Structure 1
Amino acid sequence: MYRKGERKLNGKKFFISLFLLFLFPGCTSHYLVSPSQKINLAHSIALSVKKPPSLGKLDIAKVLRLGLKGNLDYQMIHTRVTQAGALVKQADSAFFPKINIGVRYIHADSPLTYFSTTLDQHKFKFGGNFNQTSDFGSGRGFVTIGYGLNLGGSQVFQSLMAKLERAIARKEREKILNTLITSLIEAYYNALAAKKAIHIAEEAVKTLKSQLSETKVRFKGGSALKSDVLALEVRLAAAKENLIKSRNRYELLKNALAILMGLNPNYKLDLEEKPWEPFKLPKSYEKGIRIALQNRAEIKIMENRYLQARYNQRLAQSRYFPNLQFFGNYYFEDRDFKYTLKRDNWILGVELSMPLFDGLYTYGKIKEAIAKKKEARLGYKKTLLGIQHEVKAAYLNLNEAENRVKVLKLAVKQGEENFRLVKKQFEGGAATITKYLDAEFALNSTKFQLLQAQYDLKKAKAKLGHALGLCQRCIQKI
């Protein structure tokens, strides 16, 4: 029975509702993927692109667009940025109170528990023997609230460190973007160089076949030696082998490019070259290093790492400061969950605690934090030094590539003229087959070297752009 004016709460329904709420999440195991399903899923993904759609002609801009969209490393770094943002929310949660709601039911014959629960039920009556209690039950519905505060500012430092980690993740994304674009450019030009090398190898085979046919005719006429025919056949076989290797190298390099672009190996890549100058490079190292120090994400990453280490030291020192705890509890107690507002209970309190001795644990954490701060400072200096050397090496390699192209262009012209003269002499019987083959081999070798030097020059520009942190600007050109 309840006194007049006393409001009854339906505690039994409340308890059942919470019980069902905690019970139902367990049913989610029905939806878990079994190991066999995972294997089948992976198998279906691997075979999902049997006849992939045509990508059309791929110039460098299209390669970069597809690479930025499909590269798995670049996609993964996006998830790391999201994770870092979630860590900020976790750290900031320390600034808010924690509120819980729940129910509890006990069945016991403990005299102390019987006495305390009877008081909480507001049903205590004097009389009776508390030492000889029968078993009893009691249900409690409660709401608790708590808030903790470290007077040394540990929550603040944890939040600052989490925000720095988010900033680092964003800069890591820039770093990977800079590296990815450079790698895509290098892979694209490597494949193009291999494609053009096939043409040079095909021309060599065609030239040798033609010369072999002429020499066989001359041999039948008695104006050429059998050894000349055999020497040309051997040289033709070597040229055909080189052609086979060139074609295979082209396919391998296209496969390497497809990996960077995140494409299935079933895709057929048809590369074409178009003029492309995404950014202007400074002429001198002095100008370049200033740009690099402004743009390179690695520098900002190490700056944030050093700040993190400083905050980590302050966080360790905060363990010496008092901790302040605010807490509260509002609850009902009744055997049958028949709660009423006139039989409620509440507790509010505050607690201040001060650590006195923890076995030198905090001292050890502070020493560790100081060492990490020193390590971060040295890492920052190492990063700066590494970038300076990278920029210097990039300029040296660019200068070498430019000079190689100039020298080899002249060498190809001279080789073509030399081969023309030797070929004429050989056909007239004034030059030996050895001299002819030497001239042909020298010309083709020089052509290969010039081709490689021309694409090395393009890659050297890309590497310098990477060293200066400019490759991200390529996005604006695609």
Structure 2
Amino acid sequence: MTAATLPRTLTFLAVFAPASLLAAPWTLERAVTTALEHSPDARVAQARIDAAQALVTQAQAAWLPQLSLSSRYTATNSSMPAFGSILNQRAFSFGLDFNHPGQIDNLNATGTLAYNLYSGGRASAGRHAARAGVEAASSDLQATRHQLAAAVVKAALNLQKAREAVVALEGGVRAYEAAVTVARARFEAGQLLKADFLSLEVQLAQTREALASARHSAALAARGFHFVLGLEPTEEPVEFVADDPALAQLSAPATADFSRRPELDAMQARVRAAEAMVTAARGGHRPTVNAFASYQYDQGWKLDRHADGWLAGLAVDVAVFDGGQTSGRVRQASAELAQAREMLRKLTLGISLEVEQARLAHADAVERRDVTAQAVAQAEESAALSRARFERESLLGADLIGAESRLLEARLRRTVALADERIALVDLRRALGLDPLGTSAAITTR
């Protein structure tokens, strides 16, 4: 494989899908979109957003009135509850025997409306924490999508490496078969030692063995592709687009700024949530004020009376002493805030190291790509000269084996270097918080 074949070779990347998805040739962008729709990781991250939004809904309830309805029917001959039912039914008379009121029944229906006027800042803090949780979950989803996009590209390139290895080994098998044919003719003519002839046959057998192993690896790489996409494997043939723009136009970032990493955004949101929880915990030292109003209706059949009534007012609650529960909650929330801040600092340091490693890995991959191009050209020329000399009976079989082996190794190294450079570039873009493919439309959070 030469440098001239690089664009076409690297962009014939496959994404396996069910038969219903194989109507059109695959592109990397379409493959990423499929992975984002079907991957369990993306669906789990989306479910976490839904759960976080549910917490926001719960927190918002503090600013809405609470209405409850209740009803119950009772019958008793006990003095105190019977006397209460008599009063609620407006059935009191001085002729009643309070010690023996008899059997009294009562059907009560009550509606209560309550509204929190002040909660010591706990409601506001809870809402801030819930909203920060949604932001963190959204950033987690974005990070998951970046990771999935990078995984799709890596799986595609790994599959391509496996297929190119098969192609290279098939070329090696053909070269050794031709050499064995020439060697057999020379051996039968008494112009070649049997040891040299057998060495070529052994090398041919070993290359065929390596080819079988490479085909098996390519099959496993295809299955790995299905796994990354979150799809079931299929035996349907797959068509590939030539000159995939998503891969051909991929360029190295011009900056080392990683402030756009969604993992950082998620951790910063968790720090804000922890700060809000400290505020909520401190609210336990403050009073709570609630307004309430209720209406009730009572009906009794024993006395054949009924009546209604209402109640309204304000309730102020102050925890003068709670055994240290509030202070303990404040200390716990403060400790969790300190943990979150240190985790943010650790994450920042880790990402900085990851970016530097990705940058150096890409630089190394670029250098290896350039070097292997020259190595393949030199190995091809050397192998061609060796074959011609072997056919003219001026080269030993062992020397031909060495030349063919070096050519095969150079081609395999070139295949690996080409794919590794693209993989390293994708890793570098992901490490900087950029869309690994540069197609932001496919990675946008829902």
Following the alignment from structure 2 to structure 1, what is the Cα–Cα distance between the partners of residues 229 and 212? 26
1:444: which partner in 2?
408
1:316: which partner in 2?
281
Aligned residue among 98, 103, 108 for 1:135: 103
Q: Is the contact made by 1:333 and 1:339 (CA closer than 8 Å) also made in structure 2? A: no
> What is the CA-CA distance between 1:204 and the residue it aligns to?
0.8
2:425: which partner in 1?
461
Superimposed CA distance per residue, residues 113-166 of structure 1 (whole angstroms, 9 cap, x where no aligned partner): 111000000111112322123223211111112233544210110011111111
Superimposed CA distance per residue, residues 276-329 of structure 1 (whole angstroms, 9 cap, x where no aligned partner): 34554334xxx222xx21x21122112211111111111111101112232222
> What is the CA-CA distance between 1:367 and the residue it aligns to?
1.2
1:333: which partner in 2?
298
Superimposed CA distance per residue, residues 155-198 of structure 1 (whole angstroms, 9 cap, x where no aligned partner): 11001111111111111111111111111111111111211211
Once the two structures are superposed, the pairs formed by residues 48-59 of structure 1 within 5 Å of their partners are: 54-59=22-27
Aligned residue among 274, 277, 281 for 2:243: 274
Once the two structures are superposed, the pairs formed by residues 154-233 of structure 1 within 5 Å of their partners are: 154-233=122-201
> What is the CA-CA distance between 1:55 and the residue it aligns to?
4.4
> What is the CA-CA distance between 1:219 and the residue it aligns to?
1.2
2:205: which partner in 1?
237
Aligned length: 423
Structure 2: which amino acid aligns with 1:282?
P
Structure 1: which amino acid aligns with 2:272?
L
Bigger mean CA offset, 263-272 vs 190-199? 263-272
Q: Is the contact made by 1:332 and 1:344 (CA closer than 8 Å) also made in structure 2? A: yes
1:402: which partner in 2?
366
Structure 2: which amino acid aligns with 1:248?
H
Following the alignment from structure 1 to structure 2, what is the Cα–Cα distance between the partners of residues 450 and 307? 49
Decide whether aligned partners of structure 1 residues 288 and 322 sit closer, same or farther in structure 2, where only a CA change above 3 A counts. Answer: same
Q: Which has the higher contact order (CA 8 A, sep 6+)?
A: 2
Structure 2 residue matching 1:334: 3-state secondary structure: strand
Following the alignment from structure 2 to structure 1, what is the Cα–Cα distance between the partners of residues 313 and 405? 93
Decide whether aligned partners of structure 1 residues 51 and 415 sit closer, same or farther in structure 2, where only a CA change above 3 A counts. Answer: closer
Aligned residue among 278, 290, 309 for 1:345: 309
Following the alignment from structure 2 to structure 1, what is the Cα–Cα distance between the partners of residues 19 and 263? 41
Aligned residue among 73, 78, 81 for 2:41: 73
TM-score by length of 2: 0.89
Structure 2: which amino acid aligns with 1:158?
G
2:116: which partner in 1?
148
TM-score by length of 1: 0.83
Structure 2: which amino acid aligns with 1:382?
K
Structure 1 residue matching 2:99: 3-state secondary structure: helix
> What is the CA-CA distance between 1:387 and the residue it aligns to?
1.9
Structure 2: which amino acid aligns with 1:196?
E
Structure 1 residue matching 2:191: 3-state secondary structure: coil
> What is the CA-CA distance between 1:107 and the residue it aligns to?
1.7
Q: Does residue 1:96 correspond to 2:64, yes or no? A: yes
Q: Does residue 1:296 correspond to 2:261, yes or no? A: yes
Following the alignment from structure 2 to structure 1, what is the Cα–Cα distance between the partners of residues 75 and 178? 104
Decide whether aligned partners of structure 1 residues 144 and 397 sit closer, same or farther in structure 2, where only a CA change above 3 A counts. Answer: same
**Sequence identity, in percent?**
26
Q: Is the contact made by 1:52 and 1:267 (CA closer than 8 Å) also made in structure 2? A: no
1:389: which partner in 2?
353
Bigger mean CA offset, 373-382 vs 426-435? 426-435
> What is the CA-CA distance between 1:56 and the residue it aligns to?
4.1
1:378: which partner in 2?
342
Structure 2 residue matching 1:373: 3-state secondary structure: helix
1:8: which partner in 2?
none
Following the alignment from structure 2 to structure 1, what is the Cα–Cα distance between the partners of residues 289 and 302? 34
Decide whether aligned partners of structure 1 residues 74 and 275 sit closer, same or farther in structure 2, where only a CA change above 3 A counts. Answer: same
Structure 1 residue matching 2:256: 3-state secondary structure: helix
Following the alignment from structure 2 to structure 1, what is the Cα–Cα distance between the partners of residues 157 and 242? 9
Following the alignment from structure 1 to structure 2, what is the Cα–Cα distance between the partners of residues 442 and 272? 32
1:62: which partner in 2?
30
Q: Is the contact made by 1:279 and 1:470 (CA closer than 8 Å) also made in structure 2? A: no
> What is the CA-CA distance between 1:270 and the residue it aligns to?
4.1
Q: Is the contact made by 2:104 and 2:303 (CA closer than 8 Å) also made in structure 1? A: no
Following the alignment from structure 1 to structure 2, what is the Cα–Cα distance between the partners of residues 140 and 446? 91
Q: Is the contact made by 2:253 and 2:429 (CA closer than 8 Å) also made in structure 1? A: no
Superimposed CA distance per residue, residues 340-380 of structure 1 (whole angstroms, 9 cap, x where no aligned partner): 9x821111122212112222121111111111111111112
Superimposed CA distance per residue, residues 13-63 of structure 1 (whole angstroms, 9 cap, x where no aligned partner): xxxxxxxxxxxxxxxxxxxxxxxxxxxxxxxxxxxx996563443232332
> What is the CA-CA distance between 1:202 and the residue it aligns to?
0.8
Structure 2: which amino acid aligns with 1:281?
A
Structure 2 residue matching 1:382: 3-state secondary structure: helix
Instruction: Indicate the RMSD between aligned Cα atoms, in angstroms.
Output: 2.3
Structure 1: which amino acid aligns with 2:270?
R
> What is the CA-CA distance between 1:275 and the residue it aligns to?
4.3
